[in-house]
Amino acid sequence: MFFFNRNTIQHPGENVPYEEQVLNLKEKIQNAEAIVLGAGSGLSTAAGFTYSGERFQKYFFDFAKKYPIQDMYSGGFFPFESPEEFWAWWSRNIYFNRYIDIHSDVYGNLKKIVEGKDYFVLTTNVDHQFQKAGFEKERLFYTQGDFGLFQSTRPTVAKTYDNREIVEKMLEAQGFVRDDAGIFQLPEDKKLKMSIPTELIPICPDDGLPMTMNLRIDETFVEDAGWKMAAKRYQDFLHSHSRKHVLYWELGVGMNTPVIIKFPFWRYTEENPNAYYACLNLGEAGCSENIVERSICLNADIAKVLRDLLKKDLK
């Protein structure tokens, strides 16, 4: 049994020069027989998918004016006045955090770093950025769902449904316009509707009930056939490498849901004397005291570290 005391978090390397830490991490990556990547929201934040500030004000300025909502995450739990308003909010949230590209090298650089290695990715992110960057689908496990999928609110069958077409219809109904590349943008006058037509409210084709996002927020979360296959591939990968030289590399994982990535990575490292743990997280880099001698905890900007890992010589 793995026990953890929050008061015993260690921060190895906090007094070690940055360049030395990055070189150490680079060596562990190169020498690992396998790499298990654990990606949290901090990775996408580093890539530019911020849920507050400028992006929030750009796409949700009208909601922010009407309601006491300050960011996209908290807005997802707000009790809107109607289903039509609810889906106006969520269609924007889904589209601008799932279907558009942000000019960032974060995910692309991470892919270059693990290229040619035996790797697997476990992520709580629901924004599809790994696949958009070219990571192999068979090496990914989106454990918390996908912004690109809908499910029934009370599912009688474990099925999910692609949502891009209906989401784009919702945006168009609110007044968003496509640019020359086909990407939805704000209209020039920035006048938007904060609701969608009732007929666009998504209904499950199998049970006739209203649909919702395929996000793990309660016991109704649908683990469809694709989810179950990904879960099995992940468990098979862990089992087949359980005694090898494995690097459990965590990127941008905080303490909101540590039982999904962080605590298991600590336990896997502790149980395998050949394993090593790396934590890359600006402001929250730490590890269990039981693995402090086999850990790198880099309290630094993810985007910068990934760029530096690709350099031949650090300066």
Burial class (CB in 10 A: 0-12, 13-18, 19+), 236: exposed
Please report, for the chain, the start and end positions of each structural domain, with discontinuous segments joined by +.
Answer: 6-45+104-118+241-309, 50-101+164-201
- Compute the CA torsion angle 193, 195, 197, 201 (nearest 10 deg): 150
Tell me the sheet residues that pair with 185: 177
Residue 88 and residue 173: Cα distance in Å, rounded?
9
pLDDT level of residue 314 (50, 70, 90 thresholds): low
Residue 3 pLDDT exceeds 60 = no
**pLDDT in the model for residue 9:** 80
Distance CA 256, CA 126 (A): 15
Which pLDDT value is given to residue 11? Answer: 83
Cβ partners under 8 Å of residue 7, min gap 6 = none
What band does 255 get if pLDDT is binned at 50, 70 and 90? confident
pLDDT at 5: 56
Q: Considering only 8-17, 22-31, 70-79, 238-247, which range has the smallest mean pLDDT?
A: 8-17
Using 50, 70 and 90 to split pLDDT, how confident is the model at 256?
confident
| pLDDT reported for residue 150 | 98
Stretch 24-49: mean pLDDT, rounded? 97
Residues 6+ apart with CB under 8 A from 82: 195
Give 266-293 pLDDT, tens digit per residue: 999 999 999 999 999 998 899 999 999 9
In the chain, the DSSP E strands lie at 34-39, 119-123, 140-142, 145-152, 161-162, 177-178, 184-185, 211-215, 246-251, 276-280, 295-298
Tens of pLDDT, residue by residue over 67-122, are: 999 999 999 999 999 999 999 999 999 999 999 998 999 999 999 999 999 999 99
Q: Which residue has the tokens 């629901």?
A: 126
Position 10 scores a pLDDT of 83
pLDDT of residue 6 exceeding 70, the answer is no
Looking at residue 7, its pLDDT comes to 52
Instruction: Supply the DSSP symbol for 107.
Output: H
- Please report the beta strands in 231-313, taking only residues with DSSP state E, as ranges in sequence order: 246-251, 276-280, 295-298
Class of domain 6-45+104-118+241-309: alpha beta
pLDDT of 4 > 70? The answer is no
pLDDT digits (tens, 9 = 90+) for 164-183: 999 999 999 999 999 999 99
The answer, yes or no, to whether residue 2 has pLDDT greater than 70, is no
Q: How confident is the model at residue 1 (pLDDT cuts 50, 70, 90)?
A: very low
Average pLDDT, the chain: 94
> Whole-model pTM?
0.93
Who contacts 76 (Cβ-Cβ below 8 Å, separation ≥6)? 89, 90, 93
- Point out the least confidently predicted range of 62-66, 104-108, 193-197, 251-255: 251-255
Please name the helix (run of DSSP H) or strand (run of DSSP E) that holds residue 160, with its range, or none: none
Query: For residue 151, what are the β-bridge partners?
Result: 212
Tell me what pLDDT residue 315 has.
47
What is the mean pLDDT of the segment spanning 36-55? 96
pLDDT cut 70: percent of the chain above it: 96
Task: Fill in the amino acid letter for 215.
Answer: L
